[in-house]
Each structure stands twice: as C-alpha cells, then as structure tokens.
Chain A
Amino acid sequence: MNEIQHKFQLKLAVAASEMLSERVAHIVLTDDRPLPAMRPGQFVQVAVPDGGVLLRRPISIHDISEADNTLHLLVQTVGRGTHSIASVKQGDEMDLVLPLGNGFPDMTEGRVLLTGGGIGTAPLLYLGRRLKANGCEVTFLLGGRTAKDILRREEYEAVARVMTTTEDGSDGERGFVTDHSLLGREQFDAVMVCGPTPMMKAVARWASVPCYVSLENMMACGLGACLCCVQKNHEGHNVCVCTEGPVFNTNELEWK
C-alpha cells in the first residue's frame, strides 16, 4: 500500500461506452501501452470533453482488466461535466490524470463486507476482485432505489456473493442497505462503504468492526495542491480527501 506510485496524465482511447440505465454510463478505456498499476478505491481526474466546464471531474476506478489492458468507469449524469463525460463514444480520446488517492486497505484475510448505494457501488467491483484474489471472503451488499439501479450485477456475482436492497422492494430486500437482514445474521472483520454520506454514516454507526468509507468531496486539483477538498478529521484538523483519502477509516473522521 505504501510503495511509491507515480501519477500520469494520459490520453486514453474509448474502447466502448454504453448507457447502463437512464443516468449511468459504463466507459471502457484502453491504451497501446500497458496502463499504470492502480489500487481499488483510487480515482482518476477526467478532463471534460468539449470544454463545457473548466475543471476536471473526479471519477472512481470501477474495474481494471489487466488481461485486455482496460480501465472501466461508471459515470452518473449529475450536471454539465458528467453529462459531457457520459456522452463519449467509442474511438474518442479522453484525457485523464491517474491514479489518485490512497485506495482501500489491501486486506489479505478475513470476511469483508463491501457495501454501497447507487453510483457508490462503482469502486466495489475492482475492490472485491482484488480482496478475493488476496484470500478474503467477500460479500457485496448493493443498494438502490429500484431494481434498475443495481448495475452490472453479473460482474459482481462472478466475483463473490451478492445481496441487494431496493427502496421499493423490486430487487432483494426492501429498504436501505442498513436494513438488510444479513447485518443481523453475520459477522464481518471489516466493512468498506461508498455511497451517499447519510448512508455511509448509517453503516459506520452500525459497524462494530473497522469501517472504511470513500468520500466524494468536491475537488479542483486532485493532487493535494489546492486544499479545496478538505474534511475534518477526529482531531478537528482539515485533511485532503484527494491525497489522504478518498478512503478513510471512520475512526479518523469527525463522524458518528
């Protein structure tokens, strides 16, 4: 986790891009040269095509396939930046700075619960794949408003057991991920979460084992230079989410 990792500004080719739902695009990027090594939970800063907005947009690493040298992103359309990014087409070029941030801890054993809501499930696929390969026993608990929000289920199922919750009960158990019966039934050695802040806080309150969350504070540089993305830590000091996070042990945060 602590080996020195260099950052790159790369122009990558869009190998494929499709809308998985009304609001979420799955973008597959590749390059002639091998992509740099990236860790689960790290993110990339994407230059927004066609100049509609100024700053890059931070997007999590959804998946990496070393076999076909691809980097996968899931982008949910929110405002102008994500709309432009989601509309890239196969053959387009995208300008990315990567890999950024610390990533999730690289556990090598134990039972790990990976849970997220909505687009927050994006970083969990690569994370689960890595933890599984390391020797962990992985469970995914994916939440959404409705069945259509559970994205790329087959890919998660190919890695590990998948449980779901939906607010309307159209897939899995009804309610939020924190309502799932699994949480009362089973013990885990660690919980890793990404999603809306209220959801992450709820999971953190429930968890009696180490709980890691991935924050999505607004960013300008993504490099630790501008100090725009700060979060208060447990000592009341501001820490940079882009370099000291985006993943934090909830003990380090002024939460709960």
Chain B
Amino acid sequence: MTLKTTIGAMEMRNPVMTASGTFGYGVEYADLVPLDRLGAVIVKGTTLKAREGNDYPRMAETASGMLNCVGLQNKGVEHFAEHIYPAIKDIDTQMIVNVSGDSAETYALCAERIDSLEKIPAIELNISCPNVKHGGMAFGTDAKAAAEVVRAVRKAYHKTLIVKLSPNVTDITEIARAAEAEGADAVSLINTLMGMAIDAERRKLCLSIGTGGLSGPAVKPVALRMVYQTSRAVKIPVIGLGGISNATDAIEFMLAGASAIQIGTANFVNPHVGAEVADGIEDYMRRHKIGDIRDLVGALE
C-alpha cells in the first residue's frame, strides 16, 4: 500500500499537509505531533517586507468555526531566510512557504528569494487573504489579476508552485483555470470565507477590523463543493481544505477530487490531528482494498 503523493515536482510521504497560519513553522507543534508523519507543513504567510498585522482582537469563535483577522503578521522574507529557514530546513517533512504580497512585483520578489532556499520544495501563493487592505484577496477574486500575479511569480520561481484560491467569488473554477493557464502546478482551496461577528451585550464588533476569515467545520460543505467543481475544471492537482477535522473528512475531499488535503483550524483543537488523519486514511485504504492513494482521488461511485 502506498500513500505517496506527488504535487508538481514535489513528492510527499502522504497527502496530509498542515494549512498556513495554523501551524506556525512546524516547530511549535513538534512536542505534540511527530512532524515526520505529515506529508508537508505549510508555514505562515510570508511577505517581502515585515508586517505587524492587525490589532487585537484577532479572533472570535463562532458556531462550529472561528473568525480570524491576523492580517499576515510576519517578519518578512529576508528574516525568514536568515533566521527561520536554518532552524526548520532539516525537519523530516516537506516544508512549504505560503507567500503573500501587495503587487505582482512584491509577490515575485518574495518568491524569488525563496527559490534560492534549497530545502523548500514548493511555495503556496496566497492570493486569497481576506484580512489585508492591499492585495491579498484582491488578486484572488479577479481572473485577470490572478493571471497577472501567477505569471510574474512563475517567471521568478522555478520549483513547485501552488496557488491558493479564495472562496469569496462567484465562480472559483474561473480563477483556477487562470492560474493553470499561467503555469501553476496545483491549486489549493479554500482560504477562509469572509465573515463577521458582533457582541450583542457590548454592541461591538468582535474583531478589530470588523471582518475576518471564517474557518473550521462550519465551512466544510462549501469547501467540498468547490473542490468538487474545481477538480473537474482543471487538469493540475487540487489540494482540498476547509474544516477537515478527521480522516473521514479528508477522505471526502479526496473522493471529491482532491489529490492532497490540508488541516488548519483542527490543529488548534487537537494538535495531534495530522498524524491521526494519516493513520485513518491508511486504515480506510485497507478496509476498501485500495493499494495506491491515487486511486482514491475522485473515486466517487
């Protein structure tokens, strides 16, 4: 039986990845889950220049989910390359960097810097962050803007390029096709759904900037539908995420057409969930007599 999964030129031991912004740089979880049981870790959103992010409060729990408006707080790509990369480069899983920007040029410059880091086999281009004023989601909600960013990055970056899509659109397949046409090796979806929470007693917005991105079990049906549609619209692999909390959720995404999956918010609830999902997928394959994980992808009856 094999769980080996290939995305572009990158090989993973299994299809279980952790989602950007929910797993730090991996090391934060090292005591709680064996990182070598994961297919890949996608690290925090990284930008060309340091960003302070939005003010506190940055989160609010909602029914079966949570809103966040962290706003891409990070110390910039140079700090990542100089200080963080040396500490994570030998972790025994694929370490992927999530890249954000505010113009095609800053995305490309950030990607170019990461291209030079030998042990980073792939980047995930975040054109879908709902929590920053300039850029982010603006590039992921317009097919022309998305194409422009992917084109610029594709020129600057030579390894595996994953483009992360926003669900805050009328037709996600249109953006997926634009990314594919410009040379993306895979698309991942979904990023968070834009939402809001209000504290009735205090008559106040719960988040500092009012709106935030919804994640967790609440978004799963929306994500599953979008993965199903997108995997039928493009030929490149689709990486599915949104509300995955256990192996059954992960298998549903793979049946819908995802070649790999990511786990985000569930890491907060159960830091060990990544390893449990990997075990659960193996168990499912045994029970269903599936020898190669690839035979699970899109295998609806």
Q: Which A residues have a C-beta under 8 Å from some C-beta of B?
A: 6-9, 47, 53-56, 97, 217-218, 220-232, 236-238
Complex interface: chain B residues within 8 A of A6 (CB): 31
Query: When A7-B32, A54-B216, A220-B68 are in contact, do A227 and B53 touch as well, CB less than 8 Å?
Result: yes
B268 touches A55 (CB 8 A): yes
Give the Cβ gap from A66 to chain B, nearest Cβ, in Å. Answer: 22
Query: When A225-B22, A228-B70 are in contact, do A54 and B61 touch as well, CB less than 8 Å?
Result: yes
A-B CB contact pairs (8 Å), 18 listed: A55-B269, A217-B57, A220-B265, A221-B267, A222-B268, A223-B271, A225-B22, A225-B24, A226-B22, A226-B68, A227-B21, A227-B44, A228-B59, A229-B56, A229-B58, A232-B56, A238-B52, A238-B73
B268 touches A9 (CB 8 A): no
A218 touches B59 (CB 8 A): yes
B183 on the A face (CB < 8 A): no
Chain B interface mostly: loop
Complex interface: chain B residues within 8 A of A56 (CB): 268-269
B82 on the A face (CB < 8 A): no
- Which of A53, A218, A225 lies in contact with B267, CB distance below 8 A? A225
Complex interface: chain B residues within 8 A of A218 (CB): 57, 59-60
A230 touches B268 (CB 8 A): no
B272 on the A face (CB < 8 A): yes
Q: CA A231 – CA B208 in complex, angstroms?
A: 13
Residue from B52, B58, B68, B265 having most chain A Cβ neighbours under 10 A? B58
Q: Number of B residues contacting the other chain (C-beta, 8 Å)?
A: 33
- The 8 A CB mask of B207-231 against A (1 = contact, 0 = none) is 0000000001100000000000000
A8 touches B53 (CB 8 A): no
Q: CA A227 – CA B68 in complex, angstroms?
A: 10
B31 touches A230 (CB 8 A): no
B118 on the A face (CB < 8 A): no
B7 on the A face (CB < 8 A): no
Complex interface: chain A residues within 8 A of B268 (CB): 55-56, 220-222, 226
Q: Which B residues have a C-beta under 8 Å from some C-beta of A?
A: 21-24, 28-29, 31-32, 44, 52-53, 55-61, 64-66, 68, 70, 73, 216-217, 265, 267-272
Q: CA A80 – CA B74 in complex, angstroms?
A: 33
- Which of A7, A217, A221, A238 lies in contact with B22, CB distance below 8 A? A221
Q: CA A6 – CA B31 in complex, angstroms?
A: 6
A54 touches B269 (CB 8 A): yes
Chain B residue with minimal CB distance to A231?
Answer: B56
Q: CA A138 – CA B31 in complex, angstroms?
A: 35
Give the Cβ gap from B183 to chain A, nearest Cβ, in Å. Answer: 31
Q: CA A24 – CA B268 in complex, angstroms?
A: 26
Complex interface: chain B residues within 8 A of A226 (CB): 21-22, 24, 59, 68, 70, 268
Query: When A97-B32, A221-B268, A238-B52 are in contact, do A227 and B216 touch as well, CB less than 8 Å?
Result: no
Query: When A9-B271, A9-B272 are in contact, do A225 and B23 touch as well, CB less than 8 Å?
Result: yes
Q: CA A7 – CA B31 in complex, angstroms?
A: 6
